[in-house]
Amino acid sequence: MPASEHYFETQRTARYYLIGGPSKDITTIFFALHGYGYLARYFARRFESVKRNDVLIVVPEGLHRYYLDNEHKRVGASWMTKEDRLTDISDQVLYLDGLHKELLKKCTNAVRLLVLGFSQGTATAARWAAKSQYSVHDLILWGGALPPDLGQEEIERIANMDLTTVLGDKDEYIDQKRSEIETNRLNSLGLEHGMLHYAGGHDIPQEGLQKLLTNLRL
């Protein structure tokens, strides 16, 4: 008789980094979700130039960690794999909702929730925005795509957000053809979106980030 599968809910500790501090001066909470193989403390460095008294940058770390090399010296994190993905997606939404709720206790004047996902983080950002108990005002998909598993109700939620896609002209993972396919898919779903391009590869260079901040009026 084969083993039967079961689930047990348990509490665990999640790590995140802040640029700036939660306070009543904060009007915008800006979540930045890293890509596959990053640690949040390194990913956060890309957003240090965004630091402002009225903006709180939140960089949560994916709950899956693993070694990046055979010597077990470098560690990275990811948001999920294909294994037991629905459970991971549910856990991610609970994690990010819970973190946002905790920060709102000290950011009582925060009226704008901005969510950026980079690379693998675009799928997590979009799923959270679509499933969250909170209203996301701005959703940025940087170097990645909208996940294909969103339902009609979730697509309609995203349609009410300011959606922006960002891509480097030398991105080694997304060529022009793939970019066009994704643009056509967003259009077919009725998702109006802005498009930003910058000179560079699969990363978040300061030039591209400054273009985005100008577009978002931050």
pLDDT at residue 71 tops 90:
no
Give residue 123's pLDDT band: very low, low, confident or very high (50, 70, 90).
very high
CATH number of 16-216: 3.40.50.1820
Please check whether residue 117 is in contact with residue 62, taking contact to mean a CB–CB distance below 8 angstroms. no
Averaged pLDDT of the chain: 95
- Which value, to the nearest 10 degrees, does the dihedral of the CA atoms of residues 34, 89, 87, 107 take? 80
pLDDT score, position 1: 82
Tokens of 35: 């890509």
pLDDT score, position 170: 95
> How many CB atoms sit inside 10 A of residue 120's CB?
20
For the purposes of burial, counting CB atoms within 10 Å of the CB of 99, is it exposed (0-12), middle (13-18) or buried (19 or more)? middle
Please give the Cα distance from 147 to 129 (Å, whole number): 12
Give residue 185's pLDDT band: very low, low, confident or very high (50, 70, 90).
very high
pLDDT at residue 149 tops 90:
yes
pLDDT at residue 157 tops 90:
yes
